[in-house]
Amino acid sequence: MDLVPAPRGENPVKTPMVEVEAVDVAAPANTETGALQEALEALSDFGTDSDNSDGDDALSDDGDIIQFVRDDQLQDVPGACTREEAVAYRKRLHDIGKAAFVEETLVQETVTAKKLCTAFGIKLPDFLEGAPDEAYHPLLAIAISREFSRRPKLPQYNSIDDAVKLLKEAKNIIVLTGAGISTSLGIPDFRSKDTGLYSKLAHLGLSDPQEVFDIHVFREDPSIFFSIAKDILPTEKKFSPTHGFIKLLQDQGKLLTNYTQNIDNIEANAGVLAENMVQCHGSFATATCVKCDFKVAGDAIFNDIKEGKIPECSACRQRIDEDALKPQGLKRKRSSNGNQKDRKDDESSDEDDYDIPTPGVMKPDITFFGEDLPDEFGSRLVGHDRQLADLVIVIGTSLKVAPVAEVPGVLPRDVPQIYISRTPVSHTDFDIDLLGDCDVVVSELCRRAGWNLQHPMIPPDEQVKISPVEGYESRHVFTVVGA
């Protein structure tokens, strides 16, 4: 489950550790290119938004100011580049740099700014319709900066055979995972509005269903979270073929790190070792007392969660019970081990001066809105994995939520990147896109690699058909024959 949602307010996720679209190379501005060059310079520090909003592929949080169109939609846009033209323009930009590209296109008037915008996936805004071509220059400047800062696809990796060869030869694989690898187990993707989890939340009277995972709401009233926690708690020790695939990479000594956005901790069920994993949004694997920080294994509170009860801290409880045996005079002071707010509430409501101490609530160590992400993410990625990784496989995530979304941009650009999911993404260029049910894709990859990925959900006689996607040399759709 992709839990940590699109950031709001003071959520620390809002400030990405590493900026996805940071413009890292400034082309020398040695050409007189007029308004566009000025716009480019003015925007030289632009393009750093991490596009971590869910849904629309917008450049900035504050708006749908810039909307995007995918290459496969270009044919429906009047006056747009063809897909082939778009690909060629983008390649040319990376080949010759920004200034020369502007010289060769706009200055020499080989193409209009309006049309060129579409090569970079910009949806032409209605309000500019009929305006002089210069009106499109600022938009184009943004598009060019954005494109130029992207990691370009490595041209040498395209086919299924390439993917299998990369898998077999890699020694240090980074696997990035999201909700898509658990959905075949019936675990809802919280971020998907179609799963029904949102509608289950409707009766809770929250202005935004994601408030269930807001730390302030939790501190105010933990019962809201625990009323739905049982629905997202993985109860059985099962795992999907894709989890099995990650374990298989581990068995072969190839798994450098699995960065997962999922909080279900199902990787552990498959046998992926904690040391090989970073749970970027925390998990149910452990729980911590909100009052005294006492920590327990997650399953110690699973029964309470399943029964819809609010789990209480046994350490707090023990202290309270011990205090109860002590002389009355000491009781009051010792019992106020809670946070400030609780103490104030207690005092204002205890009119007869009796303090009724309550143990703290055990909160699963999943990262709520308003909480810091686990430190391990940045330190391991930048301090360790970046130097070692020789292959990245992204599975079952649209890669739009920080911090996992930052990973591909942090790694050296010559590290090959493979994408496995149902739908392609447009904001990151992977070298090979393997589209379809991720369980099917990984089982077929293993078959072709000669690896034995056994799993009850993979029929032994499964046959998989792979079809090319028209117009894309490196995009392939996997379907089960007869399914």
Where in the sequence numbering do the catalytic residues fall?
Answer: 281
**Minimum separation from the CB atom of position 295 to Zn ion (A):** 10
Residue with smaller CB distance to Zn ion, 73 or 358: 358
Residue with smaller CB distance to Zn ion, 291 or 455: 291
Piece of 121-129, 281-289, 320-328, 393-401 that binds Zn ion (CB under 5 A):
281-289
**Minimum separation from the CB atom of position 307 to Zn ion (A):** 20
Chosen residue from 292, 296, 310, 457 binding Zn ion by CB under 5 A: 292
Chosen residue from 294, 368, 369, 419 binding Zn ion by CB under 5 A: 294
Binding region for Zn(2+): 289, 292, 313, 316
**Minimum separation from the CB atom of position 194 to Zn ion (A):** 38
**Minimum separation from the CB atom of position 144 to Zn ion (A):** 55
> Of residues 296-315, which lie at the interface with Zn ion (CB under 5 A)?
313, 315
Task: State residue 173 phi and psi, 5-degree precision.
Answer: -95, 130
**Minimum separation from the CB atom of position 309 to Zn ion (A):** 16
If one asks whether residue 360 binds Zn ion (CB under 5 A), the answer comes out as yes
Residue with smaller CB distance to Zn ion, 111 or 300: 300
Site string for Zn ion, 435-464 (x = CB under 5 A): ------------------------------
**Minimum separation from the CB atom of position 317 to Zn ion (A):** 8
- How many other C-beta atoms are found inside a 10 Å radius of the C-beta of residue 254? 18
Residue with smaller CB distance to Zn ion, 357 or 374: 357
> Of residues 315-354, which lie at the interface with Zn ion (CB under 5 A)?
315-316
Residue with smaller CB distance to Zn ion, 315 or 394: 315
**Minimum separation from the CB atom of position 322 to Zn ion (A):** 13
Residue with smaller CB distance to Zn ion, 170 or 316: 316
If one asks whether residue 43 binds Zn ion (CB under 5 A), the answer comes out as no
Residue with smaller CB distance to Zn ion, 264 or 312: 312
Chosen residue from 179, 212, 289, 393 binding Zn ion by CB under 5 A: 289
Long-range contacts at 413-417 (CB < 8 A, ≥ 24 apart): 413/151, 413/152, 414/154, 415/389, 415/390, 415/391, 416/154, 416/157, 416/166, 416/390, 416/391, 416/392, 417/151, 417/391, 417/392, 417/393
Count interface residues toward Zn ion (CB under 5 A).
8
Site string for Zn ion, 394-433 (x = CB under 5 A): ----------------------------------------
Binding region: 289, 292, 313, 316
Piece of 65-73, 172-180, 253-261, 292-300 that binds Zn ion (CB under 5 A):
292-300
> Of residues 72-101, which lie at the interface with Zn ion (CB under 5 A)?
none
Binding residues (CB under 5 A) for Zn ion: these are: 289, 291-292, 294, 313, 315-316, 360
